[in-house]
Structures are given as structure tokens and as C-alpha cells.
Amino acid sequence: MATQVVTRQRPKPGFGTRATNTWAEMKRNRAAYFFMAPFLILFFAFTILPVLAGIGLSFTYFNVLQKPHFIGWSNYALLFLEDDVFLKAIRNTLLYAMITGPVSFFAQLGLAWLINSLKYRVGYTLLFYAPSVTSGLAMGLIWRVFFSGDLYGYLNYVLIRMGVIFEPVQWLSDVDTMLPIVILVSLWMSMSTGFLTFLAALQNMDHELYEAGKMDGIRTRLQEFCYITLPCMKPQLLFGSVMAVVRSFEVSGVAVALTGLPSPQYATHTIMTHMQDYAFIRFEMGYAAAISVVLFITMFGLSRILFRVLKSN
């Protein structure tokens, strides 16, 4: 026991340099590093290292069989200047992200707020959350029947009965309807982590704040929401918005499940599916890495901007 007490004492200031102080601190806290080690090793191997390696690879030509060789900015030049399909993928991704990102964020917040003001929440929470736990690939089977291009397709059947359309629409192979359907299905699946976080934040609100607000002249529920609820759940809003950004740019599972890879006329081609196409079908890893880096910078950059904006407000 006695030795332990001695080792836990901080070294007196003024003795030794700062570096040795840090080293002593680290030694004193070695238990902390042991605790962190298992996760950090995995995190380094499967997240940090891949990010760095991906950036490195993006400057090479690499086809898996031969060793990668350095080719400078060529992949990026090719990507932005000559790859028309990539430009289409960017357009689709931006369109998709600009719709699903904000819509899913506000839908999650709005629904959480609605549900929170009800007494019977459990069933509604489950129902709205359930789509996000479905597997995109497995649910694709149901959607294919729903959007089937013949008269058996439920949507065609209903719309024809209602007189909206006169002949069946090829929903999943018509260039004009494919992307909207992918967006719709993704929105259906988007009541996920953010939704639960918002709901949790709302349910753990301090009710005294509302009482105090009433004293200060807050009358309507909307005022209450804007001036009391929202500021209180800022951390959760920040988390939810970052998740919405990340999810809205990682689209691919649903698109592939519904329209295949590559999709007809690249109508639902996104940056992510373009990357998959080059990486795992054509085995041009260097080029695919460059695509990933572009996507990485987009996601990370946007999240950082959101972070700054929400932090200052």
C-alpha cells in the first residue's frame, strides 16, 4: 500500500523537464492506457490507418495484382475532367443529399416532438423507428413488388384504379422515377439514431424550465419549443445533424437493392456506387480510393461546417 501512495503523488513542479513530467504522468496513469488499448488498436487498424492509406492510394495506380505505383494527381484529374459518369454521380449524390439530409433531420425532430406530446408513445415510437432497422437488401424485395412495372405492381394498380395514370409505369427502370423512388425509400428508412436521440432529449427535459418560461411570458407551444426546448437540446441537435449529413452522402445500399449496380443509364449512380464499381468490379483501387477521398472530404467538411455553425449559435 505504502509504495502505491508514493507512486501516485504528482512529481513536484520544477523538478525535471516538462517531457519527463509527461512521462511520469503517463506512467502514473498506465491503467487508463490499458483500458483504452483494445478499442484503440481496432480503431487504428480499421479507421485511422484506412483513412491515411486511402489518401496515399489515391495518388497511385493499383490493380491489386501489381504493386501500386505513384502517378501524382492523375486520378483526380481523370475524375473531374474526363469521367462523365462521375459527374453524373456527383449530381445524383448532391440531389439526394440536399433532399434527404434536411428532410430527414426535420422529420426526425418534428416526429420526435409530436410523439413526445402524446401519452401513448411506445407504439408510435416503435412504428416510426422500425423501418430504419429493416435491411435495405431484404426490404428491397418488398419494394420491387410495390413498384413493379406491370399491373401487378401495387403502386401501378392503385394509381390506375384512381385514374391518375392510364398505363403501368416502369418505376424502377424509368430514368425519371428511379432516383425519386430511391430518395423516398431512404426517407422511409431514415427515422433512426437521430430520431431516438431527439426523443430521448425531449423526454428528459427539465419541466421546471417550462414553468419558469411561463412566468417569463411564454404562451404558445411553438414559443416554448423555440425558446426553451431547442436551446436545451443543442448537443443532440448537433449529433443528429452530423448523422444526417453522413447518412445522406453514404447512399448506396438502397439504390443498389432497388435499381442494381450499375443502374440503368446510371440514373441512381452515386459517388459511393461509383467507388464500389471501380473498386470491386473493375479492381482499379487507386482510382476508387480517389473517389473515396472526395467523398470523405465532402462529408467531413460539411460536418465540420455544421459543427462551427451550431456551436456559435
Partner 1 sequence: MSIALPRKRRRKLKGEPIGLYIIITLMAIVVGLPLYLMVINAFKPLEELLLFPPRYYVMNPTLENFSNLLLATNASLVPFSRYLFNSIFVATTVVVVSVLTASMCAYPLAKSKAPGVNVIFQIILAALMFSPLVTAIPRFLIISGLRMIDTYWALILPAVASSFFTFFMRQFFEAQPSEILDAGRIDGAGEWSLFWKLVMPLAKPAWATLTIMAWQSAWNDEFGPVMFTRSEAMKTLPLAIHTLYAGAGLARMGAGAAAALLTTAPSVIIFVFLQKRVIATMAHAGIKG
CB atoms within 10 A of CB 209: 15
Q: Which of 71, 78, 102, 129 binds partner 1 (CB under 8 A)?
A: 129
Q: Choose among 269, 287, 282, 249: nearest CA to 77.
A: 287
Smallest distance from the beta carbon of 137 to partner 1, in angstroms? Answer: 4
Binding mask 3-42 for partner 1 (x = CB under 8 A): -------------------x--xx-xx-xxx-xx-xxx-x
Query: Within a 13 Å sphere around the CA of 308, how many CA atoms are in the beta-carbon half?
Result: 5
Q: Is 311 in the site for partner 1 (CB under 8 A)?
A: yes
By CB atoms closer than 10 A (0-12, 13-18, 19+), residue 249 is buried
Is 217 a residue that touches partner 1 (CB under 8 A)?
Answer: no
Does 46 participate in binding partner 1 (rule CB under 8 A)?
yes
Per CB under 8 A, contacts with partner 1 among 151-190 are: 151-152, 154, 157, 161, 188
Query: Residues 96, 109, 137, 277: is their CA dihedral positive or negative?
Result: positive
Q: What are the grid coordinates assigned to 5, written together?
A: 501512495
Nearest to partner 1 of 204, 223 (CB atom):
204
Q: Which stretch binds partner 1 (CB under 8 A): 76-84, 134-142, 206-214, 222-230?
A: 134-142
- The least CB distance from residue 63 to partner 1, in Å, is 12
DSSP per-residue letters across 170-200: -TTT-HHHHHHHHHHHHHHT--SHHHHHHHH
**Which residue stretch of 83-91, 92-100, 132-140, 165-173 sits at the interface with partner 1 (rule: CB under 8 A)?**
132-140
